[in-house]
């Protein structure tokens, strides 16, 4: 994993058969670990998914059908000596099954390699039609999106406008089918919404809060299926939460982190809770926190766990409904810790896959 390339989270996913799969960029492609049975603890792999000329960056998106979409950015030398750049994606239909070949999605600048080379790294989300939607920062500092139709065909790149976008774009699916997009700038967050598949993205009210680039994530939290967005504050690097009903945002504890914030909603001791994880900025270790969903005033206490890691940790529920935290160690291996079968949210010992 290349520390010069932004980290991502969301790379630990639960398949329809109850087994978890973890993905990470590696030398020459994507590494994939697969649970040998639902609930673990054994893992198979890592298998190498070849990805020639794809940067060591990976966006992972999963739909309700369980299909996993891997999205990256490929750069290769053209015949005229210039650098060719294109967004690419690959699809895995079932847990442990082969991943289909990488397919190109191009860029908004098919005839201008110099502009294409300036685009940002992609983010992706699967909508309620099971279709993939991909977002990038464009060469002008705004946002462009390319969406797949229900038929499987791809629409053209759409310019969502905006300016001064810094880092990767964040995209998430709300429980009512809306797709929300946030993009950090020096002064705040630009925001777009799409009500349902097949219609255009529209600008929503900007968020006058500053987020560190490449740190955004989101989860469905509101009773009306709305999203809460999370990020590291651009100033003090603590975790912040925001949604329209929380217009001033909220600080969640004193933990200072880097990269994106992993987020998971689950029930702990009969209470609806939001679980967060990030890479601690001081020690480089994973850190975990939880609080009652949408009760940010209750605060969140961050607990360091495990050894220093690369990139950003990920969270998922396993086939038994237990919280699993995953991280890539400094040894390049997958390490996981599972929720203990006891009251509260405590993780067991970390184990190497």
State pLDDT tens for residues 279-291.
999 999 999 999 9
Residue with tokens 């912040």: 240
State pLDDT tens for residues 86-111.
999 999 999 999 999 999 999 999 99
Could you tell me the end-to-end alpha-carbon distance of the chain, in angstroms, rounded to an integer?
A: 17
Q: How many whole angstroms separate alpha carbon 300 and alpha carbon 238?
A: 11
**Confidence (pLDDT) at 57:** 96
Of 22-26, 80-84, 245-249, 263-267, minimum mean pLDDT range: 80-84
Query: What percentage of the chain has pLDDT greater than the value 90?
Result: 93
**Confidence (pLDDT) at 225:** 83
Residue 141, sorted as left (phi over 0), alpha (psi -120 to 50) or beta, turns out to be left
**Confidence (pLDDT) at 1:** 66
Tokens of 344: 């509260």
Name the nearest CA neighbour of 126 among 135, 136, 117: 135
State pLDDT tens for residues 296-309.
999 999 999 999 99
DSSP string for 275-296 = EEEEEETTT--EEEEEEETT-G
**Confidence (pLDDT) at 278:** 98
State pLDDT tens for residues 238-282.
999 999 999 999 999 999 999 999 999 999 999 999 999 999 999
In the chain, the domains with their CATH numbers are 110-352 (2.120.10.10)
pLDDT at 210 over 90: yes
**Confidence (pLDDT) at 40:** 87
Q: How many whole angstroms separate alpha carbon 117 and alpha carbon 87?
A: 11
**Confidence (pLDDT) at 224:** 76
Give 39's pLDDT tier (boundaries 50, 70, 90). Answer: very high
- Asked if 49 contacts 60 with a C-beta cutoff of 8 angstroms, the reply is no
Residue with tokens 């059908």: 65
Question: Please, what is the Cα angle at 193 between 195 and 296, to 5 degrees?
Answer: 110
The continuous run of DSSP H or E covering 116 comes out as helix 113-116
CB under 8 Å, gap of 24 or more: what pairs does 82-87 form? 82/113, 82/114, 83/113, 83/117, 84/113, 84/116, 85/113, 85/116, 85/117, 85/119, 86/116, 87/119, 87/122, 87/134, 87/136, 87/146
**Confidence (pLDDT) at 27:** 83
Predicted TM-score (pTM) of this structure:
0.96
pLDDT at 28 over 90: no
Tokens of 144: 């462009």
Mean pLDDT, the chain, rounded, equals 96
State pLDDT tens for residues 47-71.
999 999 999 999 999 999 999 999 9
Q: How many whole angstroms separate alpha carbon 216 and alpha carbon 249?
A: 14
Q: How many CB atoms lie within 10 A of CB 89?
A: 20
Task: Compute the average pLDDT of residues 186-213.
Answer: 96
Neighbouring C-alpha atoms within 13 Å toward the C-beta of 225: 10
Tokens of 322: 């237990």
pLDDT at 219 over 80: yes
Task: Compute the average pLDDT of residues 158-177.
Answer: 96
State pLDDT tens for residues 109-149.
999 999 999 999 999 999 999 999 999 999 999 999 999 99
pLDDT at 184 over 80: yes
Tokens of 274: 């939001």
């Amino acid at each position: 994993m290349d520390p010069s390339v932004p980290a991502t989270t969301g790379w630990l996913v639960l398949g329809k058969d109850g087994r978890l799969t973890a993905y990470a960029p590696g030398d020459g492609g994507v590494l994939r670990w697969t649970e040998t049975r639902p609930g673990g603890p054994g893992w198979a792999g890592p298998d190498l998914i070849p990805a020639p000329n794809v940067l060591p960056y990976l966006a992972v998106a999963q739909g309700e059908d369980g299909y996993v979409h891997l999205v990256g950015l490929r750069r290769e030398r053209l015949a005229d000596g210039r650098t060719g750049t294109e967004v690419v994606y690959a699809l895995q239909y079932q847990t442990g099954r082969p991943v289909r070949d990488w397919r190109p999605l191009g860029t908004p600048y098919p005839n201008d390699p110099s502009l294409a080379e300036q685009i940002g790294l992609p983010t992706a989300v699967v909508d309620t039609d099971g279709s993939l939607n991909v977002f990038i920062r464009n060469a002008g500092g705004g946002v462009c999106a390319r969406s797949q139709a229900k038929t499987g065909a791809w629409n053209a790149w759409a310019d969502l406008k905006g300016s001064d976008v810094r880092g990767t774009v964040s995209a998430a699916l709300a429980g009512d089918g809306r797709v929300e997009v946030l993009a950090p700038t020096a002064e705040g967050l630009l925001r777009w919404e799409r009500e349902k598949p097949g219609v255009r993205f529209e600008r929503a009210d900007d968020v006058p809060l500053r987020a560190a680039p490449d740190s955004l994530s989101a989860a469905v939290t509101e009773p009306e299926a709305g999203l809460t967005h999370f990020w590291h504050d651009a100033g003090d690097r603590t975790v912040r939460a925001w949604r329209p009903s929380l217009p001033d945002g909220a600080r969640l504890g004193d933990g200072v982190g880097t990269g994106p914030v992993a987020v998971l909603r689950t029930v702990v001791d009969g209470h609806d809770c939001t679980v967060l994880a990030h890479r601690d900025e001081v020690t480089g270790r994973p850190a975990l926190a939880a609080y009652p969903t949408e009760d940010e005033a209750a605060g969140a206490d961050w607990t360091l766990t495990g050894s220093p890691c690369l990139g950003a940790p990920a969270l998922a529920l396993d086939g038994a409904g237990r919280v699993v935290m995953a991280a890539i160690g400094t040894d390049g291996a997958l390490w996981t810790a599972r929720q203990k079968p006891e009251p509260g949210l405590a993780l067991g010992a970390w184990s190497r896959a």
